[in-house]
Chains A and B, each alone.
Chain A
């Protein structure tokens, strides 16, 4: 498990990351969301030791993280990063060697990965000659070499078409199945919702929400939708509720007093037909908007 504890980073007067704490449990995909400049990249760079830490700490398996630990992490920086004018095989072997693999071992593993990604016949091509999607594949190979202990991916989905996104998702799921913690940042909330086990929301350098997706969706004031056989106007006069929306037979209410929804359903059934009574959980995008507001 990767733990981030009260991590802080300042750039001059600006506190880019302000006492941010969260966890990336093993075998779970943790999505890192926030507006531009919220501090996601800065946090990830601190976790990777690429940027100095001004306060707080990063724990790996319960103890302070070391350089050797980080060496086993797979890292994909924002905007990617490999040599544009070097053959892909050579540079992947180089990256693997920097991470401590032997040359022969690195070569065979890279070759194998390239083949599995359909790039087996392009090993001598320069990176810049590949299509963007293929460059992305090379990039992901670079971050998973050698077998990573954790994955820290900054915007891994940006610029990918839907198919490529699916393929990347499959790939990440494989790692979580192997009990590897995966932290990735993204702007695409729908994707995060679909993909993540957990979510961390940053706004202006502070953590404004964190937890599993269902925890977050259940966290707010409960809301219910009621659909009746007849007009629902009477709901307005019901105690302990706030009517958010009323449209003919349909009412959307927020519970102000515990148990008020039970009284509401009792009254509704006594008045006539009830077609629908359901808890409404906000979409992630709503939670996100509320969190960063």
Chain B
């Protein structure tokens, strides 16, 4: 390191060079603290700015939005489009096949059946092999058979089943001197829901999954990021410079708040894209009904994320190198997985209980709210418990973080961190 201009000492401001000794006394060197706002706010700002200007973060968010739009578009298209299938029939099955082709739109308006006449079994198998027909209909000893090459044609099979059954039933009925209607009278089974309907339940199920996934995804991605930024500070020792300047509590608070803000902003973008996207699909009538649960979800997300973010910071502070993170974060990764699977698969009484148990309640309660039938006080109690849990993790996390952060030389165990002298 060479001093650029020996004649002008690098670290003297012009006033000092002109001989103002007061400037250099320690008393005057002590600046008034807080001229840039509270320390935690400075940390928060750095976390947000350094992340938001990071290309991989922006790219990841954009990619996720693109995937969301794509998924919604694909679902809508899948729902709208008509399946066109080609049904082959040999002479003995031609009449039935024609009846199926004619009746198909009535049975399922998304299926269109095109008829292809085939000479015999050999021709039929050849046609199947060359994909000229999707399936071949022919009578067998105890009814009819639909042969396809290797995979079943679901929508076609359903249509064929219904039409063949109607046809044969009608024939059999008239042979016995009665009618199909008379035979079927009183045998219909229909479904009904006390709350909503089947489609609504399906939408709630799907959106519930999205909620669980979004939480899991955000908690894991931002948690990992938070933990590795803690390690970065610890490993590069900048934490010592920071610790000498501000209380570590402020550093932790700033980091947790910064990452929470980023996660919530990202979540809001995803939810907005999701809801707006949904309003362009046939499910648009559900959008107003979804906004209430979505607001609840944001509340639960916030409390749940803060609780977990502190634990992630602890995981980072226990490690002394990036390589250690795998080990120190394992309990948290397990917790995340438990939350994910609990959120996705719990139902009935288990779901009700889990919807009050933090931190799982962060994903389970919004799901229950979506499904409906939740008393007004239930989300409030669950959110209160989750917030209380967050307070505990912040308190415990702060103590562990503060003590583990400045310990160097290898991984720190939780017990060491808890009981270490400061």
- List A residues at the B interface (Cβ < 8 Å): 10, 26, 45, 48-52, 54, 61, 67-73, 75, 77-86, 90, 94-95, 97-103, 105-106, 109, 112-113, 116-118, 133, 136-137, 142-144, 146-150, 160, 163-168, 170-171, 174-175, 178-180
Contact = CB atoms under 8 A, between A and B. Distances in A.
Contacts of B237: 77-81
A178 B16 contact: yes
B380 interface: no
B26 A50 contact: no
A115 to B, nearest CB: 8
Contacts of A68: 30, 33
Interface in B220-256: 232-233, 236-247
Given A68-B33, A116-B10, A180-B26, A160 B240 contact: no
A81 B11 contact: no
B42 A75 contact: no
Interface in B5-27: 5-6, 8-13, 16, 23-26
B150 interface: no
A133 B1 CA distance: 6
B26 A101 contact: no
Nearest to A120: B4
Interface residues of B, number: 47
7 contacts: A50-B243, A75-B241, A77-B240, A98-B43, A101-B35, A118-B4, A144-B11
A149 B242 CA distance: 17
A97 B41 CA distance: 11
Interface in B27-46: 29-36, 39, 42-43, 46
A100 B33 contact: yes
B187 interface: no
A81 to B, nearest CB: 3
A101 B31 contact: yes
A163 B2 contact: yes
Nearest to B409: A11
Nearest to B238: A81
B191 interface: no
A112 B422 CA distance: 38
Contacts of A103: 36
A249 to B, nearest CB: 46
Given A81-B239, A144-B11, A71 B245 contact: yes
A175 B239 contact: no
B3 A171 contact: yes
Contacts of A69: 30
Contact of B1 (A71, A148, A149, A163): A163
A168 B189 CA distance: 90
Given A71-B33, A100-B34, A179-B25, A167 B1 contact: yes
Interface of B: 1-6, 8-13, 16, 23-26, 29-36, 39, 42-43, 46, 50, 232-233, 236-247, 406, 421-422
Contact of B26 (A72, A83, A118): A72
Contacts of B23: 147
A162 B257 CA distance: 45
Contact of B244 (A50, A97, A109, A118): A50
Contacts of B46: 94
Nearest to B54: A85
Contacts of A136: 1
A129 B43 CA distance: 24
Contact of B42 (A48, A98, A147, A167): A98
Contacts of B32: 100
B376 to A, nearest CB: 46
Contacts of A75: 240-241, 244
Contact of B238 (A82, A149, A166): A82
Interface centre among B25, B238, B243, B247, by most chain A C-beta atoms within 10 angstroms, is B238
A146 B29 contact: yes
B3 A73 contact: no
B96 to A, nearest CB: 70
Contacts of A109: 13
Contacts of B240: 45, 48, 50, 75, 77, 81
A171 B5 CA distance: 12
B239 A178 contact: no
A244 to B, nearest CB: 42
B1 A116 contact: no
Given A50-B243, A77-B241, 14 more contacts: A73-B244, A77-B240, A82-B241, A83-B50, A84-B236, A98-B43, A117-B4, A137-B1, A142-B241, A147-B29, A148-B29, A167-B2, A174-B12, A178-B16
Contacts of A164: 1-2
Nearest to B240: A77
B191 to A, nearest CB: 57
Contact of A72 (B29, B243, B422): B29
Contacts of B2: 163-164, 166-167
A83 B236 contact: yes
A82 B240 CA distance: 10
Contacts of A180: 24, 26
Contacts of B43: 98
